[in-house]
């Protein structure tokens, strides 16, 4: 588990030039950037920001993209 809040972590990614794709929970379809990342079979890193794993950031260091997932009840 990451000790930074999701906001703090995502601000770091923003400063490094990553593009935010928003919240996956609100997508009607996958963003083009993520489709490309999946097609290229890049490894994405999952960072959980709380003990329940309900507030998560997923990012790709190769594509420089990230998105958030809320899996709370």
The pLDDT score that the predictor gives to residue 61 is: 97
Pick the residue with more confidence: 62 or 26?
62
Are 66 and 60 in contact by the 8 Å Cβ rule? The answer is yes
Q: What is the pLDDT of residues 16-60, one digit of tens each?
A: 999 999 999 889 999 999 999 999 999 999 998 877 667 899 999
Pick the residue with more confidence: 72 or 38?
38
Question: Three-state SS across the chain?
Answer: CCCCCHHHHHHHHHHCCCEEEEEHHHCCCCCHHHHHHHHCCCCCEEEECCCCCCEEEEEECCCCEEEEEECCC
The pLDDT score that the predictor gives to residue 28 is: 93
The pLDDT score that the predictor gives to residue 15 is: 97
- Please give the model's pTM, rounded to 2 decimal places: 0.87
Q: Provide the residue ranges of all domains of the chain, joining segments of one domain with +.
A: 6-70
């Amino acid at each position: 588990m990451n000790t930074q809040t999701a906001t703090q972590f995502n601000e770091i990614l923003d400063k490094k030039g990553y593009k935010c794709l928003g919240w996956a929970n609100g997508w009607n379809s996958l963003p083009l950037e993520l489709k490309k990342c999946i097609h290229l079979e890049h490894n994405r890193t999952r960072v959980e920001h709380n003990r329940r794993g309900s507030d998560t950031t997923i990012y790709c260091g190769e594509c420089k993209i990230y998105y958030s997932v809320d899996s709370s009840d």
